Amino acid sequence: MSALESAGPRPVLADLLPRALVRDALLVMGAALLTALCAQIVIPLPFSPVPLTGQTFAVLLTAAALGPLRGLAGQALYLALGLVGLPFFQGGESGWTYATGATGGYLVGFLVAAVVVGACSRRGLDRTPLGTLAAFALGTLTIYAFGAPWLASVTQMDLGGAFRAGVLPFLPGDALKAALAAGLLPAAWRVARS
């Protein structure tokens, strides 16, 4: 038996990376992929250029689970991969033209909302149903704060029209998503602590 064989397994390049870095990279990629997957859940609305999608749920849920920096990184990766041509945006769309179109403000809002909801989680709001509802409400308002004015600008609507087309129809679904998260996140904390 040679000296190499008796020395046991040798490290590979991946073994040189700190485990926390590998874990964080996988979590960020997972957030981007979950958002892309949920973006494919699309229900067109005949009265609005903005469809119902599952994206906001993925954005807010991953931000709550990952915190502000990893949540932001996950959404930045999602946006970057969609910009370079992967079919990550709603309904398999991609590219710069789509990202700067009527729904582009919502995409920008995802970045900021990830920081907001992640910061709420760092403060422990995701550990109770009421806190989770508050964090998701703040995140949703953040997305709308970017999405509605952008929609108004791109489509030449006034802000009232943008609110009626790009915010109001989505509030019941957003409430449902927040209620689902208010059940999931505190339950996950209870399981993790036991």
- Cα separation, 89 vs 132, in Å, equals 26
Q: What is the pLDDT of residues 7-63, one digit of tens each?
A: 678 776 666 668 888 899 999 999 999 999 999 999 998 888 888 899 999 999 999
Please list the alpha-helical segments (H only) found in 102-170: 104-122, 129-155, 159-166
89 has which bridge partners? 93
155-174: per-residue pLDDT in tens? 999 999 999 999 999 999 99
Q: Give the span between the Cα atoms of 108 and 79, in whole angstroms.
A: 9
Closest CA to 56 of 110, 13, 7, 105: 110
| pLDDT of 146 higher than 90 | yes
Average pLDDT for residues 70-81, to the nearest whole number?
Answer: 98
Whether 139 and 133 have beta carbons less than 8 Å apart is answered as no
Q: Taking 90 as the threshold, does the pLDDT of residue 5 lie above it?
A: no
Farthest-apart Cα atoms in the chain, separation: 79
Which pTM does this prediction carry? 0.89
C-alpha distance from residue 113 to each of 50, 136, 177, 190 (Å): 18, 9, 15, 25
pLDDT at 9: 81
Instruction: For each of the domains in the chain, give its residue range(s) and CATH number, in order of start.
Output: 54-193 (1.10.1760.20)
pLDDT per residue over 88-119, tens digit each? Answer: 999 999 999 999 999 999 999 999 999 999 99
Residue with tokens 């991953």: 62
CA distance 171 to 153: 21
